[in-house]
């Protein structure tokens, strides 16, 4: 597969790694939207080059990751205000390869109905499977999809959670391949912890996922936090790699949603409005 | 290579295609099966009935072969949606009070079980006659052959293996004859589901397995 020609996909910033995973004199080969890239570290600066043409790409370091773009984005990275709060800890999980469309990864991240079955006894239990009605909207002012008033019973909501709780969630799809979750902070209910999934779509049906956790948590070690996130993600990967078709179908005939899938319905409508083609299943109903 | 579109006018009549040995479809364990490049799930309820469906949940496309069987329902691993023997969705755990709509179902295909083999047509249609499998056979094994199904069929025919459609009979000098049920997996590979005539065990089963290994070798050899 070669580099996509879909401008909707090209004109965005994407994570391609973490600064600490790069070392001087050891270029790293990676892929973005079907194009081969070479990342490097020289003179203290991170570089990204489109390998085939040698074209230097713009690079931004933010939120603990390296970002680049193959196109000309009309706006910068999504603002995440919690990164300005000085008492928070950032744990980044690093690259996890998934043989699935990045769009499927976002939908899985938004979904709560799978907690009792995929994250059994951690994020959900089978005898409390109900997804209560929640709200979801495409916010036109910021061009993002938000799901609010989400609630789910969780036996172990986070690395440092002691006993079960009713978790309150807020989901924010900031970009087609960037999604955030805001959860009530266990140690300070007035604040929210942020969990992010930053996706590097290498090809239409393959992605690299970078999860991060930005918490007000004085108790758990960074290792415990990362381990918790990785456990959750590896459970999801079994699902993600076995969904068919691999690319996201937008036709309502292909896949049947229920009320619990409100955020997925909004996300797919949003993607359709944008005219995204990369990662979208071609066989669309008329 | 995919099976013909049911809407196509030039649709060949449905025929029974062997896809598994009955002995390999244990109750309560769904089994993924490839048929002409299509992903199917074969599963057996605790009551004994076997089913062949498209390996895909109608919700978000998760493969049903990863799911779990409870009684005579198959539940999807992703959100726990349950499907009964008629393929209809019977429960959606996220909405316990919701009666799933009658139209919500897995895509199911005609299935038959006879003589120790599970068959499907790969479509909802079934032929008038059941599969022509003799009774009284002992399952031996399913043998994976790295050759396209047309090649396997042609070589079995030229070896005089009395093929009748997808079933070939291999007489042997050193043991009971074998029934070979031919099953095209995808463009490059074929499965032969093998059964032995009569009640076969012990050393006879081992010689049958040796014969199958030799057969596989001869089927996979490049053309001279």
Q: The CATH number of the domain where A176 resides is what?
A: 3.90.380.10
- Tally the domains of chain A: 2
Q: Does A143 lie in the same domain as A37?
A: no
Contact A245 B61 (CB under 8 A): yes
Question: CA–CA separation, B168 vs B179, rounded Å?
Answer: 6
A30 and A133 housed in the same domain: no
- Alpha-carbon distance A280 to nearest alpha carbon in chain B (angstroms): 14
* Span A245-270, average pLDDT: 94
- Out of A131, A242, A255, the one facing B66 most closely (by C-beta) is A242
Helix (H, G, I), strand (E, B) or coil at A191: strand
- Any residues with CB less than 8 A from the CB of B206 and at least 6 apart, and which? none
* Structural domain for A158, as ranges: 81-274
Whose CA is closest to A280, among A245, A241, A238, A232?
A245
pLDDT for residue A284 is more than 70: no
Interface probe, candidates A258, A264, A268, A280, chain B, greatest B C-beta count within 10 A: A258
Question: Phi then psi for B174, rounded to 5 degrees?
Answer: -105, 20
Do A235 and A263 fall into the same domain?
A: yes
Looking at the predicted structure, is the pLDDT value of residue A285 above 50?
no
Any B CB within 8 A of A256 CB: yes
Shared domain for A141 and A44, answered yes or no, is no
List, as own/partner pairs, every contact residues A127-132 make where C-beta atoms lie below 8 angstroms and the sequence separation is at least 24, other chains included.
Answer: A128/A153, A129/B80, A129/B93, A129/B94, A129/B96, A130/B93, A130/B94, A130/B95, A130/B96, A131/A259, A131/A260, A131/B94, A131/B95
pLDDT at B1 over 50: no
DSSP letters for A67-117:
EE-SS--SS-SPP-GGGG-TT-EEEEEEEEEESS-HHHHHHHHH--TTHHH
Q: Does position A170 have pLDDT exceeding 50, yes or no?
A: yes
Residues A172 and A47 in one domain: no
d(CA B155, CA A282) in angstroms, rounded, equals 39
| In-domain check, residue A73 | no
B104 touches chain A (CB under 8 A): yes
Instruction: Please tell me whether residues A133 and A44 are part of one structural domain.
Output: no
A71 touches chain B (CB under 8 A): no
**Domain edge (last residue) among A47, A68, A89:** A68
Which residues of chain B neighbour A134 with C-beta distances below 8 Å?
none
Tokens of A85: 């709060």
Sheet of strand B17-21, all strands in order from the earlier edge strand to the far edge? B17-21, B117-120, B111-114
Lookup: tokens for A183:
């959860």
- Compute the mean pLDDT over every residue in chain B, rounded to the nearest whole number: 92
CA distance B184 to B152: 9
Position A134 in a domain: yes
Per-residue pLDDT tens over the stretch A101-110? 999 999 999 9
In the CATH scheme, what is the code of domain B17-120? 2.102.10.10
Q: How far is B48 from B198, CA to CA, in rounded Å? A: 23
Q: Looking up tokens 């109608």, which residue turns up?
A: B58
Stretch (H or E) spanning A93: strand A89-98
Looking at chain A from residue 235 to 254, which residues have their Cβ under 8 Å from any Cβ of chain B?
238-239, 242-245, 249, 254
Nearest CA in chain A to B68: A117
Run of H or E residues at A174: strand A165-175
Whether A285 maps to a domain, the answer reads: no
DSSP, res A78: P
Assess B87–A contact: CB distance below 8 Å, yes or no.
Answer: no
ipTM exceeding cut-off 0.90 for this assembly = yes
* pTM score, whole prediction: 0.93
Which of A68, A92, A118 terminates a domain? The answer is A68
Residues A104 and A28 in one domain: no
B55 close contact with A: CB closer than 8 A: yes
pLDDT digits (tens, 9 = 90+) for A19-32: 999 999 899 999 99
Residue A17 lies in a domain: yes
Whether A98 maps to a domain, the answer reads: yes
A239 to B104: CB separation less than 8 angstroms, yes or no: no
Residue A16: enclosing H or E segment and its boundaries? strand A14-17
CA distance A193 to A82: 9
* Average pLDDT of the residues in A146-175: 88
Does the residue A284 lie in any domain? no
Give how far B70 is from chain A: nearest CA, Å: 14
pLDDT of residue B138: 95
What was the pLDDT predicted at B164? 65
The reported pLDDT for the residue numbered B222 is 63
Residues A55 and A49 sit within 8 Å (Cβ to Cβ):
yes
Q: B140 CB contacts (<8 Å, ≥6 apart)?
A: B178, B194, B195, B196, B200, B205, B208, B209, B212
Select from A248, A253, A109 the least CA-distant residue to A182. Answer: A109
pLDDT value for A182: 97
- Where do the structural domains in chain B lie, given as residue ranges? 17-120, 137-220
Tell me if A119 sits within 8 A of A228, measured CB to CB.
Answer: no
Q: Which of A116, A243, A264 sits opposite B62 (nearest CB)?
A: A243
**Of A19, A38, A68, which residue is a domain's last?**
A68
Top CATH class, B137-220 = alpha beta
Verify that A226 and A169 share a domain, yes or no: yes
Answer yes or no: do A36 and A103 share one domain: no
Looking at residue A143, its pLDDT comes to 98
Q: How confident is the model at residue B158 (pLDDT cuts 50, 70, 90)?
A: confident
Mutate to test the interface with A, among B40, B57, B61, B75 (most CBs of A within 10 A): B61
């Amino acid at each position: 597969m070669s580099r996509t020609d879909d401008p909707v996909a090209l004109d965005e910033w994407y994570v391609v790694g973490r600064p600490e995973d790069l070392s001087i004199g050891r270029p790293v080969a990676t892929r973005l939207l079907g194009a081969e890239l070479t990342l490097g570290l020289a003179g203290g600066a991170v570089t990204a080059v489109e390998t085939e043409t040698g074209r230097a790409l713009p690079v931004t370091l933010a939120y603990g990751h390296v970002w680049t773009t193959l196109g000309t984005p009309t706006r910068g990275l999504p603002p995440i205000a919690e990164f300005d709060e000085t008492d928070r800890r950032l744990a980044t999980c690093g690259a996890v390869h998934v043989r699935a469309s990045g769009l499927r990864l976002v939908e899985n991240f938004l979904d709560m109905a799978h907690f009792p079955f995929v994250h059994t006894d951690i994020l959900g239990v089978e005898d409390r499977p109900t997804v209560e009605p929640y709200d979801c909207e495409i916010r036109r002012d910021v061009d993002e999809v938000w799901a609010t008033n989400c609630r789910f019973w969780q036996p172990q909501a986070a690395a440092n959670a002691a006993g079960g709780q009713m978790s309150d969630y807020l989901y924010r799809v900031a970009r087609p391949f960037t999604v955030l979750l805001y959860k009530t902070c266990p140690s300070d209910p007035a604040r929210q912890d942020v969990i992010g999934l930053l996706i590097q779509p290498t090809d239409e049906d393959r992605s690299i996922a970078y999860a991060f956790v930005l918490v007000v948590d004085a108790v758990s070690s960074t290792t415990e936090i990362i381990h918790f996130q990785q456990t959750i993600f590896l459970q999801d990967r079994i699902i993600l790699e076995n969904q068919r078709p691999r690319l996201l179908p937008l036709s309502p005939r292909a896949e049947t949603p229920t009320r619990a899938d409100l955020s997925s319905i909004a996300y797919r409508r949003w993607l359709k409005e944008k005219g995204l083609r990369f990662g979208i299943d071609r066989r669309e109903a008329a | 290579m995919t099976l013909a579109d049911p809407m196509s006018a030039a649709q060949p009549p449905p025929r029974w295609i062997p896809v598994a040995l009955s002995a390999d479809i244990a109750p309560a364990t769904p089994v993924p099966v490839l048929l002409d490049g299509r992903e199917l799930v074969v599963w057996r309820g605790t009551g004994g009935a076997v089913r062949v469906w498209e390996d895909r949940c109608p919700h978000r496309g998760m493969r049903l072969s990863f799911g779990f069987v409870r009684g005579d329902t198959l539940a999807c691993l992703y959100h726990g949606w349950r499907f009964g023997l008629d393929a209809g969705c019977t429960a959606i755990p996220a909405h316990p009070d919701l009666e799933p709509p009658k139209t919500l179902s897995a895509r199911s295909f005609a299935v038959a079980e006879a003589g120790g083999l599970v068959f499907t047509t790969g479509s909802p249609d079934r032929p008038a006659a059941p599969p022509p499998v003799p009774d009284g056979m002992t399952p031996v094994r399913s043998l994976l052959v790295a050759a396209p199904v047309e090649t396997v069929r042609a070589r079995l025919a030229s070896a005089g293996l009395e093929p009748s459609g997808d079933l070939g009979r291999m007489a042997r000098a050193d043991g009971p004859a074998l029934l070979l049920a031919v099953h095209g997996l995808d463009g490059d590979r074929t499965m032969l589901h093998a059964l032995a005539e009569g009640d076969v065990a012990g050393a006879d089963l081992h010689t049958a397995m040796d014969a199958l290994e030799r057969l596989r070798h001869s089927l996979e050899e490049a053309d001279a």
